Structure 1
Amino acid sequence: MSRVKYYLFLLSVQIVIAIIVYVSLSSVPMELEEAPVENKEAQQVYWTYSEENGPKEWVSIDPSYYACGGGYEQSPINIEKESIWEERSFEKIHLDYHPTKFIVVNNGHTIEVRDSSGENTITIDDQKFTLVQIHFHLPSEHKLNGQSFNMEGHLVHHSEDGKIAVIGFFIKEGKLNNDLAELWSVMPYEMNGQPYEMNQSIDLLEVLPDDLDVFQYSGSLTTPPCTEGVTWILFEDPIEMSVVQIEAFAKIYSQNNRPIQPLNDRKIYHFNLEEYIQ
């Protein structure tokens, strides 16, 4: 082999080796770049009502959920009638609800009815709370003298300074509930699906019980992050829904209630809203 051919052979070998090395090295950053995305997806944690990531585990899922395990005024609670305070806790309460066409979604934990109108409010003393959303639990979260109800509804209100007030009502098996009939007919089975805008308006004053006896106490959200300082107003008398309506919800969420939390040294007040509404 001549000297020229020898050098050309060596040059060819070096070029092939360089190409192989380049291809090998260039593939490494792509793999490293994709890995964090895959790991990030694998590390995402969602809270549930089952044993895995359920209520007992909420406190450890995220640091912002500390109150779920370390709070002192948590909800829901068992309301024992013999331990309630028959006295005023507010000077006045005003419910200002209007017939509204709500938006219905399945948020992965419950059926949520969203209100973007800003027209449904409650005023407690001099502070106004605007309705943000309504949602449902099966079975009920609160108990009355140790008794559970078939379901429970929550009307969640926020004030401009970030405070929260929730009006709750029990639901028991009974006659068909016509006020919630359309809502029940369009409940999405799939989570995070297309929101449904209702065709008919719902008047919340017609949905709530006719008897205005309520319990009031200071508690928390019943879902993560279990924020405390929530003003709870819970109707004593339940509303009714038919067996078919209750079973329709159960087909989507067969159990989405948080267990009862310790009352600790909190007071529970009992009064009639009619005496307060001004």
Structure 2
Amino acid sequence: MKRFALAALMACIGHTAFAADAGHWGYAGAEGPEQWAKLSPDNYACQSGKNQSPVDLKGSIHAALKPLKMDYKAGGNEVLNNGHTLQVGFTPGSALWLDGERFELKQYHFHAPSENLIAGVSYPLEVHLVHADKDGNLAVVAVMFKEGAENKALAALWPQLPKEAGLKTALATPLSAAALLPAKHAYYRFSGSLTTPPCSEGVRWLVMKNPVTVSKAQVAEFAEVIHHPNNRPVQALNGRPVLD
């Protein structure tokens, strides 16, 4: 399962055939989230999985979580429009340390509106920083964006977005994921899955408690490129603890 999840992740990073590989999935109608498991046998977890993402983060249990250790370099060198999201790919060198293991930052991508909710609240934008350790285990750091001042990190990225699905562009200046993080790194933690087909489970989710700002115009620019909401509905916790 770990290798399968990583393979799906790397396919998403590496080429635009990912959508076709996963059975031409989408976010509405006959290809929408309720149909994902029917589109390909590989997507069985989208329906039968019990530890699915995203979730509504509520009723958290105080667990004195350790501070996150992150070392993010300016390694974001390309941005891909894969038809489902806009995704910044990274060269090796940026990492998160979690549970005694090093997780390499592979890519970050965006969902509008947010996929995860915090105490029932939806945000206009969410970014997922996707990491993998040497064994293919995945960890995702999620950051929420609330409407407010223009986001400086997005202001550097948005003008370079490829406008059509299937296009990839090189970034003029390498970007660091650190610019997307809030000043304080308090977070929620839960065990979940990929939020896109094949919905593989065993993903460690770390959702920042504090949002950063994004302007209404910046959210509109993202929508103009993607053309549709790209958030999977929240999934049942099924007894999973949410730690803080």
Q: How does 1:167-178 map to 2 (within 5 A)?
A: 167-178=141-152
Question: 1:208 maps to which residue?
Answer: 181
Query: How far is the alpha carbon of 1:203 from its aligned partner?
Result: 2.7
Counterpart mapping for 1:39-78 below 5 A: 45-78=23-56
| Counterpart AA for 2:126 | E
More strand by share: 2
Higher helix residue share? 1
Q: 1:135 aligns with which of 105, 109, 124?
A: 109
Preserved CA contact (<8 Å) 2:76 2:176: no
Which structure's relative contact order is higher, taking Cα pairs within 8 Å and 6+ residues apart? 2
**Cα distance, 1:133 vs structure 2:** 0.9
- SS of corresponding position for 1:264: coil
Is 2:207 aligned against 1:231?
no
- 1:1-278, aligned counterparts within 5 Å? 45-80=23-58, 83-88=59-64, 93-115=68-90, 117-193=91-167, 195-253=168-226, 254-270=228-244
In 2: Cα distance, 1:58 partner to 1:178 partner: 35
Structure 1 counterpart SS, 2:156:
helix
SS in 1 for 2:174: coil
Q: 1:175·1:241 contact (CA, 8 Å) conserved in 2? A: yes
Q: CA RMSD in A?
A: 1.4
Give the residue type in structure 2 aligned to 1:211. K
- Partner residue, 1:25: none
Q: Is the 8 A contact 1:101 1:199 kept in 2?
A: no
* Separation of aligned partners in 2, 1:128 and 1:247: 36
Q: Tell me the secondary structure at the aligned position of residue 75 of structure 2.
A: coil
- Structure 2 CA distance for aligned equivalents of residues 159 and 212 of structure 1: 21
- Check whether the contact 1:171–1:239 (CA below 8 A) recurs between aligned residues: yes
User: Helix, strand or coil: the match of 2:107?
Assistant: strand
Shift of 1:198: 1.1
State the 4+ residue runs in structure 1 displaced beyond 3 angstroms: none
Who wins on radius of gyration, i.e. which is larger?
1
Q: Distance in 2 between matches of 1:73 and 1:228?
A: 6
Alpha-carbon distance in structure 1 between the residues aligned to 2:23 and 2:50: 25
Could you tell me which runs of 5 or more consecutive residues in structure 2 were left unpaired when the two chains were aligned: 1-21
Q: Secondary structure at the match of 1:102?
A: strand
| Cross-structure match for 2:14 | none
State the Cα distance separating 1:125 from its structure 2 match: 2.6
Distance in 2 of aligned mates of 1:62 and 1:101: 32
- Residues of 1 paired with 2:50 and 2:76: CA distance? 37
Q: d(CA) in 1 for partners of 2:99 and 2:110?
A: 27
Alpha-carbon deviation of 1:200? Answer: 2.0
Q: Is the contact made by 1:93 and 1:125 (CA closer than 8 Å) also made in structure 2?
A: no
SS in 1 for 2:30: coil
Percent identity between matched residues is: 36
How far, CA to CA, are the matches of 1:112 and 1:203 in structure 2? Answer: 13
TM-score, normalization by structure 1: 0.77
Distance 1:68 1:200 in 2: 37
The TM-score, its normalising length taken from structure 2, stands at 0.87
**What amino acid sits opposite 1:53 in the alignment?**
E
Deviations 1:85-105 (A, max 9, x none): 111456x64211112342101
Provide the rounded CA distance (Å) in 2 between the counterparts of 1:225 and 1:139: 21
